Structure 1
Amino acid sequence: METQTEAPSEQRTTDFVALGEPSDWQSRGINLESAQKWGFTRSTLNGDPVRLFNYRNAAQQLVWQKIRFAGKDFRSKGLKEDMCLYGMWLWRDGGKKIVITEGELDAISVSQMQGHKWPVVSIPNGCDGAARALKKNLAWLENYEEIILMFDQDDAGQKATAECCQIGFTPGKLKVATLPLKDANAMLMEGRIKETIDAIWGAKVYRPDGIVGVSDIMGDLMKPVEWGLKWCIEELTQHTYGRRMGEVYGFGAGTGIGKTDFLMQQIAFDITDLQMNVGAIFLEQKPVETAKRVAGKLAGRMFHVPDAGWTEEELVRAATELDGKLFFYDNFGQTDWDIVKGHVRYMAVTLGLKLIYIDHLTAMADTGDERGSLEQIMKEMAGLANELGIIIHFVSHLTTPDGKPHEEGGRVMIRHFKGSRAIGFWSFFMFGLERDQQNEDPIIATTTVFRILKDRYTGRATGKTINLGFDQETGRLFVREDDPFAEKTGFKDETAGADDAPF
């Protein structure tokens, strides 16, 4: 690019520091040619040596000075309303591309590294004033086909970059250049000139966070599709293709149906078969009881029942097996979601747990606005699972159905979940457990129907059921090979009703 070569006019104010002479700055890699090009001079102020970044307007009048003392002590002189982007006066109004740096020294450095061919300017007042400075000069910048931000690579510089990208440049015109070192002057001092030029030509069109193209995800796209973590019930694993990190799974059942037994057995399976540590947040069950129940699933003993024929030695052996593998939230009755959320984060980040169980969701709801609070909790819970790369299993209480109660074998539907709208929206799978506890047939009375209510993954499992029996001696659930319902009625319903259509 050609530069303006007219002789400077008289300055508009009389309070400027004497310009002195253009001076190189060897320790920062700036040569004399660059100092002359940019009017970068060395002078004195009150007997102290200073370096001057002299700002001029289009008429080459001196309008503002940034004065640099030793030790990065800056002062300024001039009229702030006349302050422009550093270097604007050097370039024509418009062209192919322009680079904007965070500091004056960086602008001189970029200009020097590409032989002063392409326009470079700098914001005048650092990161805090970056967006304001670009807005003020937006019309001038829009004369260029490409506007490239090359701010510092530290947190402040990246924050300023994000703010400047929101100004409202013509879509596709604004680009962001990334450097391997902190800033352009650091690149110059290290002699990494080619990398800096490559960064200019390889600058990427600004794209807001969260917007990606196929090329951005191609690596993940080409990874083999794998099965997720197993459930303790093999049939459930086959139906769902396992459990995947970043997802949330909801369980609903009436009182005494067997959801606690299922969760305890699943936790025991995770620890023993999958060799994974687990976090248990049971808001209405003390850690001692949870530990006894999980230990019981390991040992095949009902340690929480006093006359179930177990010994103290068996309990100690099973509990010891859980030590260092099962962690609890020991604050019975404290059900504030913000507190629970913090404990989930601690378990995931500090303890490295990938599997979290929460019982129950409804306990954390605001009684004054149950629906609204459950919607917020579910939204944050799903976001937390995705952010931390964990699996959250949660229990929800059910509303009273219109027909047969859930405790008498009434079918569980999605709309029975308290906060069903939010739960249905954010959950990857939803499960209902049904059992007719009062049935005269002891087989049916002890058989739990495990129903898949929602399958976001493939949709194929929605409506599938698994009949679970209960072994009174071991306290373990098992999949029944027979179908007591078919034998009694000659009919087995495995279809999903209209209410259970996938979200």
Structure 2
Amino acid sequence: MSDDSTLLSKGPCADCGSSDACATYDDGHSYCFSCGAYTHGDGTKGDGATRVPSELIRGTYRDLGKRGITEATCKLWGYSVADHEGRKVQAATYCNALGEPVAQKVRTADKDFFVLGSLKEAGLYGQHLWRSGGKKVLITEGEIDALSVSQAQANRWPVVSVPNGAQGAKKSLASQMEWLKTFAEIVLWFDNDEPGRAAAEECASILPLGKVKIITTPHGLKDANDLLREHGAPAVLDATWSGRAYRPDGVVAGEDLTVERLKAKAAPGWQTPYPLLNEKTRGIRPRQLWLLTAGTGVGKSTDAREWLYAALVGGKKVGAVFLEESVEDTAKYLIALDNNLLAEDLEDDPSILSDAKWAASHAKLFGRGNYQAYDHFGATDSDGLLNKIEYMALNGAELIFLDHLTIAATGLDLDGTDKLMVGLRALIERTGCSVVAIAHIRKAQSGAKSAEEGAQISLDDIKGSGSLKQVPDVIVAKERDQQAEGPEKDESMLRVLKVRRGGKTGPADHLRYDTKTGRLKPFVPADTSGFDSPETDGNTDF
């Protein structure tokens, strides 16, 4: 079934005899929500549709007199009435992107609610009725309000409802962010009560700036359906144009900057596993972008996983976006770290860990709701990537690891890379998360010592647009001579290249990789001459 067509009407089905379950779309195809019969636009039969889940209620469509909703509107939206287990109920049918029914939110006469099917498979209520993109989409707090606004607009313009009311509105909109961003204007019309007003402000804060308007139901009424019943469709239609533009708080009067407010301590930074790095940077603070850079094969990803593991064990909510490996590989690396094993040994022979240890590590790392990973399927579209990172942050991730920016910027020119970096910076500010991203080093000039041979790294060595050194708050380089003899081959040094606020640049921790356990640990070297360079203070704010 096409997800690019628009529903025109519902009527009788020639296959099963239903009087009103067969939907006809503007590309000519039809689909029966009762028997699942699918007919292509050329009249040929197809089997491309899924039958209605058996647990869903098959009700009838009729006028909702007390609500002022017509039978035609109910039929379009799949809002039916029925007898269910001896009770009169109303059922709002939720569909997936293909328009297939997957769930119902059922309301009893006593205002009890329950769900049949799986709301996780559905989008916003009514989302399947509208194409992506357009001038405006209006979002309500409940299904009846969505029907009320749609009917007032002659059922012609995009209206949807969040499925779980005010308390779940932000999460519901975050999950459909890519679709919402295709509209030029996003209008929120939630209930005119404290939870509804708070939810509208909360939702507006995560939506694209400059696109959002918020409607307050006029005449002191609670919602769109109250307005429809008491003042009619013209009043509802007029209200759809009355939304105020959402502007985030930002302008602060001097008298509001009280001494107590100025004396408030800054949020503490998360402490990395490396003490000297923490001393120079004060840790990874909320709303910071860190960049970790090094030569090819020097160990950037190894550091990122070590930090990710430490954060996860320490109770941080984390997100893992590793674009050079699968989500399974990243998870196995973390389990290997938890058991002081080489990941490649664990991959070759999973039985080196007992079932009990597998289960214990899995529960410790992934069973507490603190871990999210992006299954990229090999795709690296920059806009899509930012949407997924933002979703992770809105879903609770405090610290997100992106390995690596060079892949994310593949195919982009310098302007495109700048846009990616600015977009990443903006979502960090919007969501309050922190991101640790990895970037590559430029190839050394002919005859010059390379980063892979332990050369000192500077900001100008970072590969790509200048925004990669200008946008981050902190930049850390890792230096290691891959061609060294003996144990020095597994030793490296961190060099702080940039700290936007209050830290120092210069050499930091020396690290040693344990080839038996796969762990990376700081150590105090007997001789640091190979990495010697002056420590610097001063302004590194780009």
TM-score normalised to structure 1 length = 0.54
Structure 1 residue aligned with 2:145: none
Distance 1:220 1:362 in 2: 40
Change beyond 3 A, Cα 1:154–1:318 = closer
Per-residue deviation at 1:211?
Answer: 3.3
Give 1:185 deviation, angstroms. Answer: 8.6
2:381 is matched with 336
* Cα distance in 2 between the residues matched to 1:393 and 1:255: 18
Further displaced range: 232-241 or 421-430: 232-241
1:124-182 per-position Cα deviation (integer Å, ceiling 9, x unaligned): xxxxxxxxxxxxxxxxxxxxxxxxxxxxx9999xxxxxxxxxxxxxxxxxxxxxxxx97
Which amino acid is 2:525 matched to? D
| Shift, 1:213, TM fit | 3.5
Tell me which amino acid in the other structure corresponds to 1:281.
V
Map 1:290-439 to 2 at 5 A.
290-305=330-345, 306=348, 310-313=352-355, 314-323=357-366, 324-349=369-394, 351-367=395-411, 369=413, 371-402=414-445, 403-439=448-484
Determine the C-alpha separation between the residues in 1 that align with 2:296 and 2:465: 18
* Alpha carbons of structure 1 residues 429 and 302: separation in structure 2 relative to 1, 3 Å: same
Q: Which amino acid aligns with 1:438?
A: Q
Structure 2: runs of 5 or more not aligned: 1-196, 201-215, 222-246
Q: What value does the CA root-mean-square deviation take over the aligned residues?
A: 3.1
Q: CA deviation at 1:420?
A: 4.8
Correspondent of 2:500 among 456, 467, 474:
456
| CA offset digits 1:179-200 (Å, max 9, x no partner) | xx978999xxxxxxxxxxxxxx
Asked whether the equivalents of residues 320 and 402 of structure 2 are also in contact (C-alpha less than 8 Å), the reply is: yes
User: Is residue 286 of structure 1 aligned with residue 326 of structure 2?
Assistant: yes
Contact 2:473/2:499 (8 A) holds in 1: yes
For residues 200-229 of structure 1, what are the alpha-carbon distances to aligned partners after superposition, in whole Å with 9 as ceiling and x for unaligned?
xxxxxxx99643333344464231245311
* Distance change in 2, residues 1:481/1:185 (3 Å): closer
Is the Cα–Cα contact under 8 Å of residues 276 and 508 in structure 2 kept in the other structure?
no
Q: What is the aligned-residue identity percentage? A: 27
Query: Are the equivalent residues in 2 in contact too, given 1:251–1:430 (CA < 8 A)?
Result: yes
* Partner in structure 2 of residue 247 of structure 1: 288
Residue by residue over 1:108-135, the C-alpha shift from the partner in whole angstroms, topping out at 9 and shown as x without a partner, is xxxxxxxxxxxxxxxxxxxxxxxxxxxx
Equivalent positions of 1:87-98 (< 5 A) are: none
Contact in 2 for aligned 1:296/1:303 (Cα 8 Å): yes
- Counting only pairs closer than 5 Å after superposition, residues 246-285 of structure 1 correspond to structure 2 as 246-273=287-314, 275-285=315-325
Distance in structure 2 (CA, Å) of the matches to 1:155 and 1:236: 40
Where do 1:459-474 residues align within 5 Å?
460-474=503-517
In structure 2, what is the Cα distance between the partners aligned to 1:361 and 1:412? 18
Corresponding residue pairs, total: 298
Structure 1 unaligned segments of length 5 or more: list them: 1-152, 157-180, 187-206
Distance 1:339 1:389 in 2: 20
- Counterpart mapping for 1:470-481 below 5 A: 470-481=513-524
Name 1:98's counterpart in structure 2. Answer: none
Q: Which has the larger radius of gyration?
A: 1
The CA distance in 2 between the partners of 1:407 and 1:354, in whole Å, is 32
* Separation of aligned partners in 1, 2:412 and 2:390: 27
- Name the amino acid aligned to 1:385: I
**Partner residue, 1:121:** none
Moved over 4 A (4+): 153-156, 181-186
CA shift digits 1:265-285 (9 cap, x unpaired): 111111112x11211011111
CA shift digits 1:34-63 (9 cap, x unpaired): xxxxxxxxxxxxxxxxxxxxxxxxxxxxxx
